[in-house]
Amino acid sequence: MEYTTQMDAARKGIVTREMEIVAQKEGKTAREIMELVACGKVVIPANKNHKSLNPEGIGQGLRTKINVNIGISRDCFDFDAEIEKAQKAIELKAESIMDLSSYGKTRQFRQKLIEISPAMIGTVPIYDAVGYYDKDIGEITAREFIDIVEMHARDGVDFMTIHAGVNKETVRRFKNNPRLTNIVSRGGSIIFSWMQLTGNENPFYEYFDDILDIFAKYDVTISLGDAFRPGSIHDSTDAAQIEELIVLGELTKRAWEKNVQVMIEGPGHMPLSEIAANVLLAKKLCHGAPFYVLGPIVTDIAPGYDHITSAIGGAIAAASGADFLCYVTPAEHLRLPTLEDMKEGIIAAKIAAHAADIAKGIKGAKEWDDRMSQARRNLDWEEMFSLAIDSEKPRRYRMESTPEYEDTCTMCGKMCAVRNMNRILKGEDVSLI
């Protein structure tokens, strides 16, 4: 029996190779994964043309996944440096890489990335349109935007952010409810500007069915972008954000009618007290589709440390039901991240995802922590390093400050509680001198 997409296969009762791989990774049966894909609560972004892909599932009951952003820009267009970042992200086991390139040899970069990456690849086609056509935004036609989407699909992109929730009605709502930080979504600001300059409806909304046909052909997952995500905690959970979310829920059902897998993108900047409610709203209004969040960043006062502010928000969001975290680096709001910035962002996001998985009771999550605790009790440094989410940093710290006794560290020395409890419980003497 033939099928067009993972969702089409699942609805026909077909277990695909990708479903079997995801089931094995998640400790579930292939049939469980198939049923979740069929109802839209899990997606497996897997473009038919992405031959190097090692598939992952995103959604209900699965491990929280993380995404890493890379890409060339007009100010920083070092092709090789961005490929090096991609290779580091793969080494650190990020499940997803988004190519946000907006300048230069974007297609060449994207094709190289898809060729080498076992991680799923996402893009935001509207970023590429401006650089690819080398036109001012108001001169790009609706058809040209759609053509860029098809080119990305043909190249093998597994999921794309499409800002289809911006339409004339949501724009009216935004204008009638002024914000402190306006629109901070890059894609949202571009399409808003295009609409204002041309007077036309958003082509991603107007020609949504055409986009779905492209996505169904290549099995691209649509990630419905949150153009009106809040860019400050002052603007969170406002009229424009919620109006757009309602539209995204309607578009989700239209996508499912064509067997196109859907993710929903979410905020943004948001106080801690609003995160759980926002996850609930997104899940309810968008019919249980997987929820993909940027952060949320929980305070606006920490430039240079937004990998921390977003990890705090991401852990709470994922524990509340979000399924996919977009990493944020220390360079957020300041510059294109360096390789070291990127690594810090990945580790922070992975910590948030794992902490949430423990809270959600994901199979195997707490057991990892238990193995680490056993290694600590045994003062088995090598085992601790091997279990660490990043083995390089703790190993370096240990080597930089060598203790007198191997079974201690330079913080406590012979006063180490673990060392002394091990000894006293074995009936051995304990000397602190």
**Do residues 341 and 373 both lie within one domain?**
no
Q: Does residue 3 belong to any structural domain of this protein?
A: no
Same domain, 392 and 351: no
227 annotated as a binding-site residue: yes
Check whether residue 158 and residue 230 sit in a common domain: yes
Please check whether residues 102 and 208 belong to one and the same domain.
Answer: yes
User: Does 110 count as an annotated binding residue?
Assistant: no
How far is Cα 191 from Cα 182, in angstroms, rounded to an integer? 14
DSSP string, 288-341: T--EEEE--B--SS-TT-HHHHHHHHHHHHHHTT--EEE---TTTTTS---HHH
Is 386 labeled as ligand-binding? no
Reported as a single tens digit per residue, the pLDDT across 322-333 is: 999 999 999 999
| Residue 359 banded pLDDT, cuts 50, 70, 90 | very high
187 is in an annotated binding site: yes
Residues 113 and 253 reside in one and the same domain: yes
Instruction: Name the average pLDDT for the chain.
Output: 96
Supply the pLDDT for residue 49: 98
* Confidence grade of residue 192 (pLDDT, cut at 50, 70, 90): very high
Residue that is written with structure tokens 């709203």 in the block: 281
Report whether pLDDT(1) > 80. Answer: no
Q: Is there a binding annotation on residue 305? A: no
Instruction: Please indicate if the annotation marks 333 as binding a ligand.
Output: yes
Question: Of 310, 333, 360, which residue is a domain's last?
Answer: 360
Q: How far apart are alpha carbons 82 and 88 in whole angstroms?
A: 10
76 is in an annotated binding site: no
The reply to whether 98 sits in an annotated binding site is yes
Q: Quick check: 76 pLDDT over 80? A: no
How far apart CA 278 and CA 276 sit, in angstroms, is 5
Quickly state the pLDDT bin for 236 (edges 50, 70, 90).
Answer: very high
Residues 287 and 420 in one domain: no
CA separation for the pair 213, 205 (Å, rounded): 14
Q: Based on the fold, state whether residues 268 and 165 are members of the same structural domain.
A: yes
| Contact assessment for residue 286 and residue 248, using Cβ atoms and an 8 Å cutoff | yes
| Residue 238 and residue 112 share a domain | yes
CATH number at residue 332: 3.20.20.540
With a CB cutoff of 8 Å and minimum separation 6, the contacts of 28 are 22, 61, 363
pLDDT of the residue at 323? 98
Phi, psi of 121 (to 5 degrees): -115, 130
Q: Let me know if residue 54 belongs to a domain.
A: yes
- The percent of residues in the chain predicted with pLDDT above 90, rounded, is 91
Give the end of a domain, one of 360, 388, 415: 360
Residue 77: pLDDT over 80: no
Q: Indicate the pLDDT class of residue 210, thresholds 50, 70 and 90.
A: very high
Domain end (from 317, 332, 360): 360
Residue 306 labeled ligand binder: no
pTM of the model: 0.96
Residue 384 lies in domain: 365-425
Number of structural domains found in the chain? 2
Find out whether 287 is annotated in a ligand binding site.
Answer: no
Confidence (pLDDT) at 131 = 82
| Section 373-384 average pLDDT | 96
Short-list 304, 354, 364, CA closest to 325: 354
Q: Is 114 part of a structural domain of the chain? A: yes
- How far apart, in Å, are the Cα atoms of 275 and each of 314, 315, 430? 9, 10, 49
5 inside domain: no
Give yes or no: residues 101 and 130 share one domain. yes
186 assigned binding-site residue: yes
Establish if 137 belongs to a structural domain. Answer: yes
Q: Which residue has the tokens 């969170």?
A: 236
**Range scoring the smallest mean pLDDT among 14-18, 111-115, 128-132, 147-151:** 128-132
Please compute the mean of the pLDDT values over residues 37-49 and round it to a whole number.
Answer: 98
In a domain, 122, yes or no: yes
- DSSP string spanning 26-76? HT--HHHHHHHHHTTSEE----TT-TT-----EETTSPPEEEEEE---SS-
Query: Is 189 contained in some domain?
Result: yes
SS3 for 97?
Answer: strand
Express each pLDDT in 301-349 by its tens digit: 999 999 999 999 999 999 999 999 999 999 999 999 999 999 999 999 9
- Residue 216 confidence class, pLDDT cut points 50, 70, 90: very high
Q: For residue 234, say whether it is annotated as part of any ligand binding site.
A: no
Determine, yes or no, domain membership for 21: no
Same domain, 243 and 391: no
**Residue 298 and residue 249: Cα distance in Å, rounded?**
25
Is 138 a residue whose pLDDT tops 80?
yes
Which DSSP string do the residues of 195-253 spell out, in sequence order?
A: HHHH-PPPHHHHTHHHHHHHHHHHTPEEEE--TT--SSGGGTT-HHHHHHHHHHHHHHH
Are 311 and 170 part of one and the same domain?
yes
**Same domain for 370 and 336:** no
Is 226 annotated in a binding site? The answer is yes
pLDDT at 134: 85
Q: Any binding-site annotation on 69?
A: yes
User: Over the stretch 83-109, which tens digit does the pLDDT of each residue have?
Assistant: 999 999 999 999 999 999 988 789 999
